[in-house]
Amino acid sequence: MRILVIAALLLGSAAAAKDPPSGSPPGIAPAVGMTDRPADARALDASRKPAEVLKFLGLKRGDRVLDVMTGSGYYAEIIGNAIGSYGTVLAEEPTVFADDKSRAVFAALVKRVPNVTRLEVMPADLDPPANNFDFTLMHLVYHDTYWTSEKYKFPAMEPGAMLKRLYAATKPGGIVGVIDHAAVPGGDTREVVDKLHRIDPAVVKADFARAGFKFEAESDLLHIAGDDHSKSVFDTAVKGQTDRFVMRFRKPA
């Protein structure tokens, strides 16, 4: 599996500029504002606040980026434009979610933003080379490291093992940004995730600390006080308007 990851990284590097960066990339706010982004993606900007979130998390021009469980590539596209042609984005998508429709959507994305490369691999099998990424984003997906589904053929994972590999793959001083649906404190994490697709912020902090990451900062950019934390994130009463935490972790330099 590491061979596939290395091949994807090489492909992404080939799409990036060969010379050192000069001038300025579009930047985060202009990247969000690009009119060739799909309409359904742009419709999510008001609730997701991507420009503010990425600025808080510390995305930089020229970064080598990992987008874990990229989905439609919402953030992969924004980041690919924001970091400029010298940067690269490896957009990981779980094999069980990859189909012809999603591949077609992503092929169109890559035509718009050629420094983005999609890799179809299960998160538990993602094992990049050491010290490779400046910035990793886990947008509404960290809770899935505790999720299991026979229906979607998503096997149980060991979050600690996944984070250990991510720690090794992160450059010293590199950042991991985590955005997720907040759960009430306490309870069995796997049970809460299976039922609500939410996670206790304290669990995330503890998991990353055990892996060696340093918790650096948290933002209330996406905090919604009126969210009913007892409801599933897919409940129509809260869908798209859940209380979300935004955390920045760093690998010590």
Task: Tell me the chain's radius of gyration from C-alpha atoms.
Answer: 17
pTM: 0.92
- Please tell me the distance from the alpha carbon of residue 181 to that of residue 1, in angstroms, as a whole number: 30
The token pair at 220 is 């209330």
> Whose CA is closest to 165, among 204, 217, 128?
128
Q: Is 88 exposed, middle or buried (0-12, 13-18, 19+ CB in 10 A)?
A: buried
Closest among 202, 161, 166 to 184, alpha carbons compared = 202
> Which tokens in the block code for residue 203?
């669990």
Strand partners, 67: 91, 137
What pLDDT is recorded for position 19? Answer: 44
> In the prediction, which pLDDT does 122 show?
95
Residue 58: left (phi > 0), alpha (psi -120 to 50), or beta? Answer: left
Per-residue pLDDT of the chain (253 residues; tens, 9 = 90+): 554 555 455 445 555 544 444 444 569 999 999 999 999 999 999 999 999 999 999 999 999 999 999 999 999 999 999 999 999 999 999 999 999 999 999 999 999 999 999 999 999 999 999 999 999 999 999 999 999 999 999 999 999 999 999 999 999 999 999 999 999 999 999 999 999 999 999 999 999 999 999 999 999 999 999 999 999 999 999 999 999 999 999 999 9
Q: What is the CATH number of domain 2-16+30-250?
A: 3.40.50.150
